[in-house]
Each structure stands twice: as C-alpha cells, then as structure tokens.
Chains A and B, each alone.
Chain A
Amino acid sequence: MHVFTIKNLQILDMPPFNLELQAGECIAITGDSGCGKSLFLRALADLDPNPGEIFLDGKASSSYHPWQWRRQVGLLPSESSWWLAKVEDHFPGEGANLYQQLTAIGLTANILNSHTHRLSSGERQRLSLLRLLRNKPSILLLDEPTANLDNNNSALVERILKKYQQDHGATLIWVTHNLSQARRVANRHLQFTKHRVREVKGI
C-alpha cells in the first residue's frame, strides 16, 4: 500500500510545507481562488518546477520517468482537453473491457462515435475521468471535478471516484469549493489561504 509524502513543497510565496497521506485517504483542499490550489496539484504531478520533493512509497518523483510518475500520480484538470475528432480516438484498444468501463460511468458504447466537441459537460467530465483512471493511478489529483456539473452528474462522478478509491486503495487529493462535498468525500481537510496552508482538524 502506497504512502504519498510531500516535503518542503513551495507554492507561490507561502512557506514550504509537508504532508503525508496514507493509501486510501482522501484529503479535501479548500480555499479562495488564486491561493495556489491548482498550482499545488500541478506541482504534485511534476508539471511545474518546484524546490520541494515528493515521494511515492519512499521513492522520490525524480527517480521515476516523468511519464511513469504522471501515470501513478494522475491529475484530472478542471477543463478536459480533447485533441482528436471522435471520442473513440481517445480510447485506443480494449474493446469489451472499455464497454464495461463505459457502463460503469453511466454511458453506452454509442458515445464512442460522438464528436468530442458535441459532448455535454457531464459526459466530457466522466470520459475525462475514465481516460485518467485507465492509467490505474495510485494517487488522484482532482481539480474541482464536479464544479461545472449538475447535481446528478456531480453525484455520479463522486460515486465513480469513491468506488475507484475503495477498489484500488487510491489516495485522493480533492480540490473543492463545496464544503458539504468535502465532508462527504474526505477524511482530512487542507485549507489554503493567501499566506499559508494549514490542515484543519476534524472535517
């Protein structure tokens, strides 16, 4: 089971901070816009240079190839990107298995034929999530995964994420503006303010 350790991570002008997460934990990240929550997730996915260090099971991120690291520490961006014409182009290989996975997120195989620019925001987000989960990441970095979704889609995405967390013992780092969602999904709570990051006891 994996331990995720963050040492001396430096975001914006805040003092460096440390954090350790056990397998299967979910930590909610809250705070105003512009406090560096997205930058925090980007730093964890090794998308920006940072003087701090991050370890997965005691192994530093620098000892992984960057592409291996990002498959292990998967970031779901708040806006998903689709660079090919059709949905199926983004899901190469895996016929039958893929159909099952689509059913599990409430979609059918028909969606594979759709043009990516015609997807609804709910479909986009669920497909973006499925695309990421197919890498089987042990750590999931979620940048407001339900921010643009209606209640039904929001609940659906929450369920998919919790199920993945249970099935794979994954660790979730979940940025949200919704405090009741934070209480529902997380067992720990990290609060970002303009000047520092602090963990709030008792969520």
Chain B
Amino acid sequence: MNIITLSGLDLTLAAFLIFLLGVLSLFLRLGQTRQLFTASVRCTVQLLIMGLILKLLFAAANPAAIIIMAFVMLLSAGQAVTSRIHRPLAGRWWSYFFGVSAMFLSSFTVTLFALLIIIDIKPWYTPQYAIPLLGMLLGNTMTGVALSMDTLTTTVFQHKNIIEGRLMLGEKWRDAARDQITGAIRTGLTPIINSMATTGIVALPGMMTGQILAGSPPMVAVTYQILIMFLIAAGTGFGVILAVQITARHLFDHRHRLRLDRLSDGDI
C-alpha cells in the first residue's frame, strides 16, 4: 500500500478549518480565539521540532541521547501538571516534584517493561519504539496525575471541617482523609477506564488511526492499540495512586494535623 505524504498545501487547507473556527469563536465572543490560535501554532511548532529531533534520534540510535530526550519529556510533563492544579502546594516546587516523581516511577517503568519484555525489541532503546511509547504513556499519565492532584488539593481544602472533625474523634490522617484520597484516585482513573470501555465503538484511537493511515494492516494496528491501552491504563493508574498518596502525606504532618498552610491560596 502506498503512503500518501502530506504536502504543505494539504496542511494549509487543514489550517484553514482552524481559521474558520477562530472567526466563529470571535463572532460568538467566546474569548478563546487567541488561545485557539496560540495552541495551533504551538502544536505545529512543537510537532515539527519533535519531528526533527526524532529524525536525528532515529539516525543516531544513541541510548544517551534517548535518555536525555526522555527526561526532557518528563520535565515538561511535570510543568504541565503543575500548571493544571488550581490550588498547588505552597512552594510550587513540591507539586512539580511529586508530579514528576509519580510520572517517572510509573511511565518509565511501564515503558521499560513494554520494551524489554513485551515487545522485546533489540536494542531496547530503539527510538522508533521507545520514544512514541514513552510519549503516549507520559501524555496520558500526565492528564491523570494532574486531574487527581487537583481533585485532592481542592477537596481536602473544601472538606477541612470534616477531615479535622474526624481527626478530633481520634482517627488517623489516612482514615480521616480516606474519602478525599479515594475520590481523587477515582477521578484520575475515570478517563482512561471510560476510554478503554468506549474505544472501537464510539471512537477510533488516534494512534491506531495514524498507523492505518500510514499503511499498516488493521489487525497490526489493533493489537498495538490494545497494548497501548493496557500500558496507558496501568501507567496512569500507578502514577495517579502514587501522586495522590505522596501529596496527601504532605498535607498532614507527623502529629496527624491537617496542614492547609502547605497549600497555596489558589485561584478558586
């Protein structure tokens, strides 16, 4: 099967649709026109740069370069997590640190597991596999971690009276904040569970679609998609659980006191 490469003109035509949406959003006074255009430009520039870097990486296949790349991706994901938390931990560094640690431990481990054991590609750092896999995992784990950390800090703040009421009755911090902790984990896990449940019926996943458009046989694309879904669910799950646990721990001190002074004032 021939792969039809896209020309600059093809993409310009697609960009015209974004332009139309921008005009419509201006007309409806959504106040999002600027964000829409900035996001489109960022998307284009970032992907082009990523394309160039991948081209270089694929040519070199140097493990050191790939590991550096992986960490750059991780640290940017950490930045994205911090910016999505409405009431971050006081000293933004903490939110960043917890988010990055959770994503590192989950995404990196799951990616390595996939490369070394499941796909069993040699060498394991073959960039055609390592970078896209890590990217998919980090991207999804990031969303889950941000969502769950945001939910945790927000609900703990809102339910201060309940949590302290339970502490007053002699509960340990983990029991006193149990509802908020499980709620936050659940919120972080819901999107991936829902997307696994509806994938293939309601939506064709982007990765699979891309593979098929690029000429792969459907069954190959499907098996890869199933693998990716499982990896994403596991990576997101571990990452969310870890992020929520360490963040919750940080909101209480050794005397089991709720330390809301460790949350910044926030914007809600």
A residues near B, CB below 8 A? 45-49, 62, 66-68, 70-71, 74-75, 77, 79-81, 83, 131-132, 135
In the bound assembly, the distance between CA atoms of A33 and B205 in angstroms comes to: 59
- Partner among B162, B164, B170 whose Cβ is within 8 Å of the Cβ of A47: B164
In the bound assembly, the distance between CA atoms of A45 and B169 in angstroms comes to: 10
State whether A135 touches B169 (Cβ < 8 A).
yes
Q: Which of B158-172 contact A (CB under 8 A)?
A: 159, 161-162, 164-172
Is B55 on the interface with A (CB-CB < 8 A)? Answer: no
Q: List 11 A-B contacts (CB under 8 A).
A: A46-B257, A47-B258, A48-B257, A62-B255, A66-B257, A67-B167, A67-B170, A79-B161, A80-B165, A83-B159, A131-B169
Using C-beta atoms within 8 Å of the partner chain, give the interface range for chain B. 10 to 19
Is B256 on the interface with A (CB-CB < 8 A)? Answer: yes
In the bound assembly, the distance between CA atoms of A149 and B166 in angstroms comes to: 23
| Given A46-B257, A66-B172, A74-B169; 16 other pairs, CB 8 A cutoff | A46-B255, A47-B168, A47-B258, A48-B257, A49-B257, A62-B255, A66-B167, A67-B167, A67-B172, A68-B170, A71-B169, A79-B161, A80-B165, A81-B161, A132-B168, A135-B169
In the bound assembly, the distance between CA atoms of A45 and B161 in angstroms comes to: 15
In the bound assembly, the distance between CA atoms of A116 and B231 in angstroms comes to: 43
Given A81-B161, A83-B162, residue A74 in contact with residue B168 (CB < 8 A): yes
User: Which partner residue on chain A sits nearest B178 by CB separation?
Assistant: A83
User: Which partner residue on chain A sits nearest B259 by CB separation?
Assistant: A49
B residues near A, CB below 8 A? 159, 161-162, 164-172, 179, 253, 255-258
State whether A83 touches B179 (Cβ < 8 A).
yes
Considering the complex of A and B, which 9 residue pairs feature the smallest CB-CB distances, nearest first?
Answer: A81-B165, A71-B170, A66-B256, A81-B162, A75-B168, A67-B170, A66-B255, A83-B162, A70-B170
Please give, as numbers and ranges, the residues of chain B lying within 8 Å of A66 by CB-CB distance.
167, 172, 255-257
Within the complex, what minimum Cβ distance (angstroms) separates B263 from chain A? 15
In the bound assembly, the distance between CA atoms of A12 and B265 in angstroms comes to: 21
User: Which partner residue on chain B sits nearest A135 by CB separation?
Assistant: B170
Within the complex, what minimum Cβ distance (angstroms) separates A1 from chain B? 22
Most buried by B among A45, A80, A81: A81
Please give, as numbers and ranges, the residues of chain A lying within 8 Å of B257 by CB-CB distance.
46-49, 66
Most buried by A among B164, B169, B172: B169
